[in-house]
Structure 1
Amino acid sequence: MPGRSPRRSTPQPATCRTCWGGSDSGPAFDAYATAWEADAKTLTDALHELADKIRASKGAYGGSDGLVSTQAARVRVGDGTVSTMPAYAERPSALASY
């Protein structure tokens, strides 16, 4: 039929390997895919281990955060005013004897 492209058949795997890279491309790809899957599994396991550690530390710090909040609420400061100035005190001067 005019205007239609001819129907193409999908090459079989053996044909694909010979057409696109030669006869050694199949085993090379299989080795690559196996190594990639092993690496992906290693990364997945590492991420799960890290997530477990984060959950454990979050639980440990969550309890102490509540304790700090409770203890901080009990702190009383003099007359209620807070200053960043140092407390006044008589200090001997090194130059007083001159």
Structure 2
Amino acid sequence: MVASHNEDTVRFTLRRMEELGLHPADRQVYFGQLLGMCDQISFPLGQAGFPVYKYVPYGPVMEVLPYLSRRALENNSVMKGARRERQLLWQELKRRLYTGNLFYRPA
């Protein structure tokens, strides 16, 4: 499992998979991320057939918050990713409004 919120790490993994001849359907490589973080990475992976898991830390607030704080500190690119995700969401909203395709219909 590649558990990362970093786009470069995911791109590197995809390149290595291609070099090794691994395909999404092989189900040998999985991706994992915190729920609500970097959906701009995980949604396209899932749509391309890659197995993607989102996890939710749970427990007493005083135990969960320090964990989430460490994840945020480790991923200094998260805020950059949040800005990018917001831009992508606006682009998608505009596309759906202009084309009249308001709802996602999987192929």
TM-score (norm. length: structure 1): 0.31
Identify the structure with bigger relative contact order (alpha carbons < 8 Å, sequence gap 6+). Answer: 2
Computing the radius of gyration over CA atoms, which structure comes out larger, 1 or 2? 1
TM-score by length of 2: 0.29
